[in-house]
Structure 1
Amino acid sequence: MTTVVQADAVSASAAGPVPITEPGIYNMANETYHSHRYALSSSGARKLIEASPAHFRYEQDHPQPVKKVWDIGNAAHRLVLGNGPELRLVDYERWDTKDAKAEVAEARAEGAVPLKRADWDQVHEMADVLRRHPVASLLFDPEHGTPERSLFWHDAPTGVMRRARLDWLPNPRTGRLIIPDYKTCRSAHPEKLQKAIEEFGYHQQDDTYRSACHALGIADQDAAFVFVCQEKTPPYVITVIEVNATARRIGAARNRRALETFAHCTATGYWPGYSDDVVPVALPGWAETRDSLEYL
């Protein structure tokens, strides 16, 4: 097992984080992890090929501020994993009053997640349901793992530094390691989750995390990677899924293209948009059929 490097060895300075050059498992705050933008993450790889290198570069240079819509997911993660920002109940019927606004602003300024009473009850109920689930409760058993570890490693073909932040790192053991990732969702129905794999690039995340575990010797054989998906509305149903072999191969191929693009753009300093050539563009198929019948 690769040694865990403690947070004080990798903390960010006013000028930004000290670049990590040695592959390893690092114990750092979430904000510090995301500040290491020279290392390619799974979400960065998706942006490179689903949008363009220019979009990727802009988002890296202009990090998104915290959004309120993330509060439920962040709060649920905190309760399930036992790690993350403090949850703070702002117990007012309305949040548009002066006192409520002041408490919300104070909480966010201190890095806490402010929650209304209904949201507070919701995330605690979600965590209670998970603890009663026969599989999910074992996957996130605090006696058999550690929450939120940051992994850094080099991609051998390109030399690119890669990064991944595991929701949960199981304790070392013999045999196949099962690494879980917690997702909140609108629907945990397997058919809906098929669409989520494509929409959110879970197959690329799967390949990224497997690659990290292999590169860092976390498991003595290929690790299993599963998503624990929980609905955000009662009864907070949970479905545990594993991406199949075909989807994993596609995810790996997409990641490989992203890594090659990242390496090339980094070397040249040029981050193009969709295309530098003149692109021929046709009418939408339905409009072409309609107007061809009418006018041609």
Structure 2
Amino acid sequence: MTTTLEPRALPTAAELRRPASAPGVWRACAARSKVELRAFFRNKQSLVFTLMFPVILLLVFGSIFSGKVAGTDTDLKQVFMAGIVAAGVMSTAFSGLAINIAIERDTGTVRRLAMTPMPKSAYFIGKLVRVIVTTALEAVLLIGLALVAFGLPLPGTPERWSTLLWDLALGTVACAMAGAAYSALIPNSRSAAAIVTPVFMVLQFISGVFFPFGQLPAWMQTVAAFFPVKWMAQGFRSVFLPDSFTAVEPAGNWELGHIALVLAAWSLAGLALTALTFRWRGHRVR
């Protein structure tokens, strides 16, 4: 007796266009996140530059600064310690991510991933998971070192711990979205550091990281107010500095609601810009 095998029906065009199921998307995101984290921690150069650069700044400037901030009883070191946490977030979430995307685009990694069945959203979620993990590690390193070496006080109330967490979370997402969008301006991996680093350094100087924000020229304060680093640093000052320090803050208070609003707006704006400008191919060489 002969058994006849019926040919399997080919998928229709509608079936091919059907988006992947939710479990499939989550598996792809989880797999991509593991790849991102493994690649970051195996790349010693990236690990040292991204994580250790703010630590080096903390040790150098923390050893230089001394005295009280004019008009307050607050040690200048404590002001700097609060600001350097914001610089650490920017280092991992903005600079590190923008340079990493530029390298992957230049080497063709981004283009090859776009040609695979992997949902494109998995690429960005993997990057965001990598940024969240590395930023949390950076924050723990900086706060721990500042606590041990320079006597930075830990938050004294549950409200301040809560502010630390949401400021860190919103600041990380805002800088990550800005970094992903900014990567569109980088033509190749060779120029990535030269294009990203000046922005990273200038924003630190005008955002109250190295100097008390209220002592900066008015025009610098105005420019800095358009970017998330200033607001992150202000949020971290509200966590680690006494409330009496608001006497020298430009607004006379911590503006926590304004900080959350600005960082959320930067997160949404960065996401929109990334969606509009992200290139899955590198610049064509002529």
Structure possessing the higher relative contact order (Cα contacts under 8 Å, 6 or more residues apart): 2
Q: TM-score, normalising length from structure 1?
A: 0.28
Higher strand share: 1
Higher helix share: 2
